[in-house]
């Protein structure tokens, strides 16, 4: 049995590992977990330490990835009708404040995950699982349908004729459908054909995600020639207490939904929870994102530790369970302790690294930084999935840019994950492969 | 209520039918339609009617640059026209001469290559100009946001960072008078003001019915979340626009109309007869919303259309699904009726919106959550009672009570909140009636 001291050491080691890599744009949790796999042979002799190392890495990833989200995804407002709230903060010189808001959410999410885990969650999860397990496809499809139906037409209002207004408004929704299904087809081809060889295992979806979400932002920065304005580095937060509470709770609720239901992502969970809690406002949104991401990534992993249910949700949990599955209440309490330790380390690191990044970005030529990031993303894709990875990156980037051009939700790119899985869950993979004249990879 | 709450209601209605739940367990996803139906009233209004609605007046306080989709847009001096008065634009040109300069004002001429105009900057706008350009002297190249106005010497350019609210006030007053005179619904489209960095200039329309005055207040820049940005308030001298109407008007909802982020609203004005026999113009906010689409009649018709389609495609539980879809649609109508605006519930028997119950007027978030939670509770409760063995081994009434307890508590508070609000509301109307009587007496010389 692992000792508390060993738990602390391995958690700190995981945190250090996460801190070193998570702030780099493009280093998604999937990349990180792929690297965790590389170090996993180390744990063959001490497999019981692996879960805590992974907790440290995931917590650090959630906290540290706030930095590239805020500082490296700025775009010109003329390219998109609505900016992401963190981009708006950055362009108003308040990037550091956006980091603080996200941190508040992440901290709130950390407290919620630990408190709920230590109190009611172990008793409720088995019932929730029994109630909903037979209806998971229904729930996923419901959320997807709702995403499309609730798309708010941002353009068209200023056109001269009613018909033209309708046309322009619907271009956005139809564009969203286009993005979802093209992304879905790409994901389907990657998962079920030999385009990206199976030896790339866990990471073969990574170039696709970089193309959907990372690269279009970087390209936008380059095209729009945007420079980051001078940033206010004061440690202050402008947000109402109610806004922070609302954001944290709705984000946590959305995160739990995403953690519990397979394929439902953090963004989809946040959409549902945001509607339930009537969350409105940039500050509330940023706080909720911090909380949501923590519960989404860590909530799914934490389920593995709950002795009453021991659900395996998410790549991290599958990876760890291949070496070792925690099976006692002691390990469950150790996990809660590990989360708090890793969160404390990451929290402090984020504040200091935010200041350094904000200073550097104001001082450096942002366009050159964006070029460097673009090259970095391409190299990561190549290293993870070879030449096919670069092909996937290019196609996915075009789809990501289409979402920008149609001014529609970027989250529709998640079709790349949702569509193939829903096809699989409904038993339609073979039908589609036959229709497309493609063989299994 | 928010969209997901309505959507959930449809799902909850489907869960009352064991046949539909059994289909879902087998991967037959058609019952998703109930969620779609429950969201349909808003989908029809916000995705179709909104764009097809006829606009009688369009107020664009700050036209967008078509490429950047932002205000202000550039205007050439040769295009100066009083039709564009008070709208925010910018001019770019060279200072030709300074006409006069005082402690807190300056007047100078600018030539932009298409013509020459007199430019005026006073008080805070003068200070800002000095901060940016230093001394204003001939030959200086300038880029000046502002608006066209008239003065002693004819048309002039007033340096400003926001449009003058007078444009909005005057147009709304004109629309109210037209609605009274023609007896028809007059719709005014008010565009919002979008500036660089995706921030919006907030403005507020206040209907002062006792004095028959429309007052428009130009506010600070705000984020899409409505957070004001410090130091962006407009100077006092161009903060308020006022216009009087010839005819009386009322605003049923006793709060000003605030316009900032997202899309500016359509506001309708139509003549009504009050219970005391007076004819007044009433504001009908977003007149395309909560009409026929939000009625029990529409729900029944939609279900009647769905029924043969389901039968034709051979879905065995077509009747249950059509009924569940109709109930979902009706739940949307009922939920909306809990608020202020109400809906036209039984057309063609009813013609206008029937005011809502005003439940929980100060706890909108809570009411929305309570309704969502109630629907989640119903779904869990139904799945549990139609699953064998039951995942939660509790008697049905007890389980429902436990699950719905948070919603019951919040609804209870919503009723108390509503009673309090109605008291205030009545007091407000009494005060407004007294003020109006006073104003009328003043007008006929009684005081």
Query: Cβ distance B63 to B46 under 8 Å?
Result: no
Same domain membership, residue B178 and residue B39? no
Same domain membership, residue B212 and residue B281? yes
Residues from chain A contacting residue B3 (CB–CB below 8 Å): 146, 149-150, 275
pLDDT-based confidence at residue B111 (cuts at 50, 70, 90):
very high
Is B131 part of the contact surface with chain A (CB cutoff 8 Å)? no
Residues from chain B contacting residue A154 (CB–CB below 8 Å): 262
Is B392 part of the contact surface with chain A (CB cutoff 8 Å)? yes
Domain carrying residue B131: 89-159
Domain boundaries, chain A: 4-435
Nearest Cα residue in chain A from B11: A142
Same domain membership, residue B278 and residue B307? no
End-to-end Cα distance, chain A: 41
A-B CB pairs within 8 A amount to: 147
Same domain membership, residue B298 and residue B267? no
pLDDT at position A28: 67
Share of chain B above pLDDT 90, in %: 76
Q: How far apart are CA A50 and CA A32, in angstroms?
A: 14
Token pair for B79 = 């295009």
Nearest to A88 among B36, B198, B264 (CB): B198
Cβ–Cβ below 8 Å for B4 and A281: no
Cβ atoms within 10 A of the Cβ of A424, count?
16
Of the candidates A76, A64, A421, A376, which has an alpha carbon nearest to the alpha carbon of residue A214?
Answer: A376
Residue B83 lies in a domain: no
Span B2-23, average pLDDT: 95
Residues from chain A contacting residue B2 (CB–CB below 8 Å): 275-276, 278
Residue B30 lies in a domain: yes
Q: Helix, strand, or coil here: B354? A: strand
Same domain membership, residue B327 and residue B229? no
Burial of B376 from C-beta contacts in 10 A (0-12 / 13-18 / 19+): middle
Same domain membership, residue B238 and residue B173? yes
Cβ–Cβ below 8 Å for A285 and B29: no
Query: Cβ distance A63 to A106 under 8 Å?
Result: yes
| Cα B146 off chain centre by | 26
Query: Final residue of a domain: which of B106, B135, B159?
Result: B159
Cβ–Cβ below 8 Å for B4 and A82: no
Q: Of A81-95, A275-289, B6-20, B259-273, which one has max mean pLDDT?
A: B6-20
Per the omega criterion (within 30 degrees of 0), is the bond before B72 cis? yes
Interface probe for A, chosen from B47, B58, B410 (most Cβ of A below 10 Å), is B47
Q: How far apart are CA A211 and CA A394, in angstroms?
A: 7
Q: How far apart are CA A175 and CA B67, in angstroms?
A: 20
Same domain membership, residue B302 and residue B431? yes
Cβ–Cβ below 8 Å for B11 and A142: yes
Cβ–Cβ below 8 Å for A92 and B229: yes
Cβ within 8 Å of A, B 242-281: 262-264
Q: How far apart are CA B219 and CA B233, in angstroms?
A: 6
Is B346 part of the contact surface with chain A (CB cutoff 8 Å)? no
Query: Cβ distance A141 to B29 under 8 Å?
Result: yes
Give me the residue label for tokens 């959507």: B7
Cβ atoms within 10 A of the Cβ of A59, count?
32
Residue B239 lies in a domain: yes
Is B380 part of the contact surface with chain A (CB cutoff 8 Å)? yes
Interface probe for A, chosen from B40, B51, B73, B196 (most Cβ of A below 10 Å), is B51
Instruction: Kindly give the confidence (pLDDT) of every residue in chain A, 441 residues in length, as a single tens digit, with 9 standing for 90 and above.
Output: 789 999 999 999 999 988 888 777 666 666 677 677 777 777 778 888 989 999 999 999 999 988 888 887 655 444 444 567 888 888 888 899 999 999 999 999 999 999 998 888 888 888 988 899 899 889 989 999 998 998 888 788 889 899 999 999 999 889 999 999 999 999 999 888 877 776 666 667 888 988 988 888 888 878 877 677 888 888 888 788 888 898 899 889 888 888 888 778 877 888 888 788 777 777 888 899 899 989 988 888 888 888 877 677 777 788 888 888 888 889 999 999 999 999 999 999 999 999 998 888 878 887 888 888 889 889 988 888 889 889 999 999 999 999 988 888 888 998 998 899 888 888 888 888 888 887 654
Residue B429 pLDDT exceeds 80? no
Same domain membership, residue B173 and residue B138? no
Residue B67 pLDDT exceeds 90? no
pLDDT at position B364: 84
Report the CATH number at residue B119. 2.40.50.140
Is B182 part of the contact surface with chain A (CB cutoff 8 Å)? no
| pTM of the shown model | 0.86
Q: How far apart are CA B401 and CA B409, in angstroms?
A: 11
Residues from chain B contacting residue A275 (CB–CB below 8 Å): 2-5, 368, 372
Same domain membership, residue B181 and residue B259? yes
Same domain membership, residue B266 and residue B211? yes
Q: How far apart are CA B123 and CA B146, in angstroms?
A: 14
Cβ within 8 Å of A, B 226-245: 226-227, 229
pLDDT at position A80: 45
pLDDT at position A236: 83
Nearest to B69 among A78, A150, A283 (CB): A78
Cβ–Cβ below 8 Å for B227 and A282: yes
Span B225-252, average pLDDT: 90
Residue B84 lies in a domain: no
Is B191 part of the contact surface with chain A (CB cutoff 8 Å)? yes
Query: Final residue of a domain: which of B250, B285, B320?
Result: B285
Residues from chain A contacting residue B52 (CB–CB below 8 Å): 162-163, 165-166
Neighbouring residues of B401: CB distance < 8 A, sequence distance ≥ 6? none
Residue B69 lies in a domain: no
Residues from chain B contacting residue A162 (CB–CB below 8 Å): 51-54
Neighbouring residues of A365: CB distance < 8 A, sequence distance ≥ 6? A227
Of the candidates B240, B236, B199, which has an alpha carbon nearest to the alpha carbon of residue B218?
Answer: B240
Query: Final residue of a domain: which of B106, B136, B159?
Result: B159
Residues from chain B contacting residue A281 (CB–CB below 8 Å): 223-227
Same domain membership, residue B407 and residue B273? no
Same domain membership, residue B423 and residue B366? yes
CA atoms within 13 A on the CB side of A59: 34
Neighbouring residues of B308: CB distance < 8 A, sequence distance ≥ 6? none
Cβ–Cβ below 8 Å for A277 and B191: no
Residues from chain B contacting residue A285 (CB–CB below 8 Å): 225
Cβ–Cβ below 8 Å for B383 and A132: yes
pLDDT tens digits, one per residue of B346-379: 999 998 888 888 888 888 888 999 999 999 999 9
Cβ atoms within 10 A of the Cβ of A89, count?
26
Total number of domains constituting chain B: 3
Span B318-339, average pLDDT: 96
pLDDT at position B132: 94
Is B197 part of the contact surface with chain A (CB cutoff 8 Å)? yes
Residue B288 pLDDT exceeds 70? yes
pLDDT at position A441: 47
pLDDT tens digits, one per residue of B124-147: 999 999 999 999 999 999 999 999
Is B31 part of the contact surface with chain A (CB cutoff 8 Å)? yes
């Amino acid at each position: 049995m692992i000792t508390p001291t060993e738990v602390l050491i391995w958690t700190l080691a995981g945190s250090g590992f996460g801190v070193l890599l998570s702030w780099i744009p493009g280093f998604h949790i999937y990349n990180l977990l792929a690297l965790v796999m590389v170090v996993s042979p180390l744990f063959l002799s001490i497999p019981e330490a692996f879960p805590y190392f992974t907790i440290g890495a995931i917590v650090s990833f959630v906290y540290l990835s706030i930095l590239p989200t805020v500082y490296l995804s700025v775009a010109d407002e003329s390219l998109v009708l609505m900016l992401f709230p963190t981009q708006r903060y950055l362009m108003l010189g308040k990037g550091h404040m956006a980091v603080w808001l996200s941190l508040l959410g992440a901290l709130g999410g950390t407290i919620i995950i630990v408190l709920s885990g230590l109190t009611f969650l172990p008793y409720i999860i088995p019932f929730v699982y029994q109630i909903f397990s037979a209806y998971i496809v229904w729930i996923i499809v419901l959320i997807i349908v709702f995403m499309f139906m609730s798309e708010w037409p941002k353009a068209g209002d200023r056109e001269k004729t009613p018909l033209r207004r309708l046309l322009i408004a619907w271009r956005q929704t139809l564009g969203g459908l286009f993005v979802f299904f093209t992304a879905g087809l790409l994901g389907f081809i990657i998962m079920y054909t030999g385009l990206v060889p199976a030896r790339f295992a866990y990471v073969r979806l990574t170039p696709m995600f970089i193309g959907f979400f990372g690269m279009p932002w970087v390209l936008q920065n380059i095209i729009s020639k945007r420079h980051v304005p001078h940033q206010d580095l004061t440690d202050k937060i402008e947000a109402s207490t109610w806004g922070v509470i609302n954001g944290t709770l709705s984000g946590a609720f959305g995160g739990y939904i995403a953690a519990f239901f397979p394929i439902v992502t953090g963004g989809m969970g946040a959409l549902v929870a945001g509607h339930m809690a009537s969350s409105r406002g940039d500050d509330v949104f940023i706080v909720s994102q911090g909380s949501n991401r923590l519960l989404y990534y860590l909530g799914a992993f934490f389920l593995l530790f709950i002795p009453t249910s021991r659900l395996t949700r998410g790549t991290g949990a599958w990876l760890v369970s291949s070496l070792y599955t925690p099976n006692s209440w002691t390990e469950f309490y150790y996990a809660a302790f590990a989360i708090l330790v890793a969160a404390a380390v990451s929290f402090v690191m984020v504040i200091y690294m935010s200041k350094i990044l904000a200073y550097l970005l104001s001082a450096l030529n942002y366009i050159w930084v964006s070029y460097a990031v673009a090259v970095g993303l391409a190299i990561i894709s190549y290293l993870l999935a070879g030449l096919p990875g670069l092909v996937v990156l290019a196609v996915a980037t075009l789809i990501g840019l289409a979402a920008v051009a149609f001014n529609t939700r970027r989250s529709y790119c998640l079709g790349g994950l949702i569509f193939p899985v829903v096809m699989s869950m409904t038993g339609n993979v073979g039908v589609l492969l036959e229709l497309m004249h493609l063989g299994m990879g | 209520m928010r969209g997901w709450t309505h959507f959930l209601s449809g799902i909850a209605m489907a869960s009352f039918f064991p046949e539909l739940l059994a289909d879902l367990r087998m991967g037959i996803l058609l019952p998703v339609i109930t969620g779609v139906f429950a969201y349909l009233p808003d989908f029809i209004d916000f995705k179709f009617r909104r764009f097809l609605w006829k606009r009688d007046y369009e107020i664009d306080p700050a036209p967008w640059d078509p490429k950047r989709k932002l205000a202000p847009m550039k205007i050439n001096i040769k295009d100066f026209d009083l039709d564009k008065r008070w709208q925010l634009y910018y001019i770019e040109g060279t200072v030709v001469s300074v006409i006069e300069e005082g402690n807190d004002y300056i007047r100078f001429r600018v030539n932009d290559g298409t013509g020459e105009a007199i430019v005026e900057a006073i008080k805070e706008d003068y200070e800002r100009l000095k901060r940016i350009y230093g001394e204003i002297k001939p030959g200086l190249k300038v880029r000046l946001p502002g608006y066209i106005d008239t003065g002693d010497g004819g048309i002039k350019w007033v340096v400003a960072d926001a449009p003058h609210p007078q444009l909005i006030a005057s147009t709304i007053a004109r629309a109210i008078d037209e609605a009274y005179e023609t007896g028809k619904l007059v719709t005014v489209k008010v565009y919002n003001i979008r500036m660089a960095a995706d921030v919006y200039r907030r403005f507020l329309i206040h209907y002062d019915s006792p004095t028959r005055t429309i007052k428009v207040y130009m506010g600070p820049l705000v984020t899409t979340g409505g957070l004001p940005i410090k130091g962006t308030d407009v100077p006092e001298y161009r903060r308020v626009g006022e216009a009087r109407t010839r005819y009386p008007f009322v605003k049923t909802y006793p709060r000003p109309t605030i316009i900032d982020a997202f899309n500016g609203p359509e506001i309708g004005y139509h003549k009504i007869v009050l219970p005391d026999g007076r004819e007044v113009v009433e504001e009908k906010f977003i007149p395309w919303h909560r009409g026929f689409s939000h009625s029990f009649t529409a729900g029944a018709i939609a279900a009647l259309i769905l029924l043969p389609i389901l039968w034709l495609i051979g879905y065995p539980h077509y009747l249950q699904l059509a009924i569940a879809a109709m109930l979902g649609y009706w739940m949307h109508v009922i939920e909306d009726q809990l608020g202020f605006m109400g809906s036209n519930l039984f057309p063609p028997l009813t013609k206008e919106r029937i005011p809502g119950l005003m439940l929980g007027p100060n706890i909108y978030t809570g009411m929305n959550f309570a309704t969502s939670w109630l629907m989640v509770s119903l779904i869990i409760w139904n799945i549990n009672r139609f699953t064998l063995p039951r995942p939660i081994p509790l008697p049905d009434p007890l389980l429902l009570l436990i699950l719905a307890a948070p919603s019951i508590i919040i609804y209870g508070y919503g009723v108390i909140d509503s009673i309090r609000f109605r008291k205030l509301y009545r007091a407000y109307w009494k005060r407004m009636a007294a003020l109006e009587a006073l104003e009328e007496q003043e007008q006929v010389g009684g005081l």
